[in-house]
Amino acid sequence: MKIQIHGAGMAGSYLYFLLRDEFEVGIDDVRNKPDCRCAWGISYKEAKELYKNIGVNLDDYILSKPKYGIVNGIKLKNKYIVIFDRAKLLSDLWKEIDFKKVDADIEIDATGYKRAYLPKIENDRVYPTVQRIEVHEIDENIYTYTSQFGYAWAFPLGDNRWHIGAGEKSVERAEALIEGLRKAYGFEKKEPSCSCISGVRLLPPSKCRPFIRCIYIGVGEAIGCVSGFGEGNAPALKSAEILRDCLVEENFNDYEERILKEFKWIEIEHKFVDAVQQNKMLTALFYMLRVIAIERKRSLSYSPKDILSIIKVSLNPDAQSF
C-alpha cells in the first residue's frame, strides 16, 4: 500500500514516522519550514509516551514547566501542561523526512483547520487566532484571559520570551482579548520578534464527519481532534496513532468509531463550552464536574468554585477583580 500524507505538522509528521517502516510513504507540505504559530502548550504525560513510539524524547524540547495556570485571575495548580519548542521539534523531524509525492492508494488529510482534501464541514467553526512573540520580565506562569467566545494566552518560552495570542470570533475581537490580558497581568505592548494570523477549528470530531471520503482520510485538527479549550497537540498525535493501527490492519471501517470513542472527552468539553457560549448555565453546570475530572488528568487542577469564577468573568469582564 502506498500512502501520501498532506501536511507535515503535528499529526502528519508523527504519522509519517509511524508508517515509514511498513509502507511506501510520501509527505508534502505547503510550507518550506515549520512555523512558530500557536501550539506551544502540550499535555506532558500523554505526549511523552506517544513520542517514544518514534524515538523522540519530549524532554529535549521542553522550554518551561510552569507551576501555575492563572485563568481570569484564578491561580490554578498546573499538573501536566508543559511549554515545548514546537518549531524546533518539527524542524528536527523534517530533517529526517524524505519529502516526496507517491502514486498513492490512500491520501491523508493532515492539513489542520484548512481541511484541504476532505469535504467542507457543514456549519464549520474556525476561529481566527492572532499570535506574536514578545519579551517580558514576568513570573513564568501560564496566563489566560477568557471571554464568552474565546481566550487570550501568554505562554512562557524561557529567557523572558513569551508567546502571546488569542482566538475569538474575529481578528478584532481576538486583539481586544489580548488587550484585556495585557491589562489584567501587566504585559505591556512590545514590538514582537514575529507575529502571524492563523486559525483553529473548534468543533468536536462528531461534527467533523466525514473522516473518510474515497481515498482521503482525515487526521488531527482536520477531523476536530482539538480539546474544548484549544489544545490540539496531544490529540493530534493520538489520532495519528489510531489511524496507523487502522492502516496496518487495513481496517478503515472502524476508524470513525475508534476516533469517537477515544475522544469522548473532547465531545464533553465542547458541550460545556457551547453551553457557556449560549448562556445555558444549567447545561454548563451539568457538564462542569466531568470537565473538571478530565482537565485534572491532563492539565490544571480546577474546583467547581474556580470554574464558576472563571465563567463569571468570561460573561462579564467588568466583574474582574484582579
pLDDT tens per residue, the chain (322 residues)? 999 999 999 999 999 999 999 999 999 999 888 876 665 899 999 999 999 999 999 999 999 999 999 999 999 999 999 999 999 999 999 999 999 999 999 999 999 999 999 999 999 999 999 999 999 999 999 999 999 999 999 999 999 999 999 999 999 999 999 999 999 999 999 999 989 999 999 999 999 999 999 999 999 999 999 999 888 999 999 999 999 999 999 999 999 999 999 999 999 999 999 999 999 999 999 999 999 999 999 998 988 888 888 888 788 766 565 6
The cell numbers describing 103, all together, are 502514486
The cell numbers describing 156, all together, are 512562557
Residues in a beta bridge with 106? 3
pLDDT confidence of residue 302:
85
The cell numbers describing 99, all together, are 519529502
Q: Is 251 exposed, middle or buried (0-12, 13-18, 19+ CB in 10 A)?
A: exposed
pLDDT confidence of residue 311:
85
Residue 4 φ then ψ, to 5°? -115, 125
Q: Is 206 exposed, middle or buried (0-12, 13-18, 19+ CB in 10 A)?
A: middle
Q: Residue 287's CB: how many other CB atoms inside 10 A? A: 20
Distance, CA of 16 to chain centre: 19
**221/266 Cα distance (integer angstroms):** 12
Contact 196, 240 (CB under 8 A): no
pLDDT confidence of residue 256:
97
For helices 233-249 and 10-19, the axis angle rounded to 10 degrees is: 30
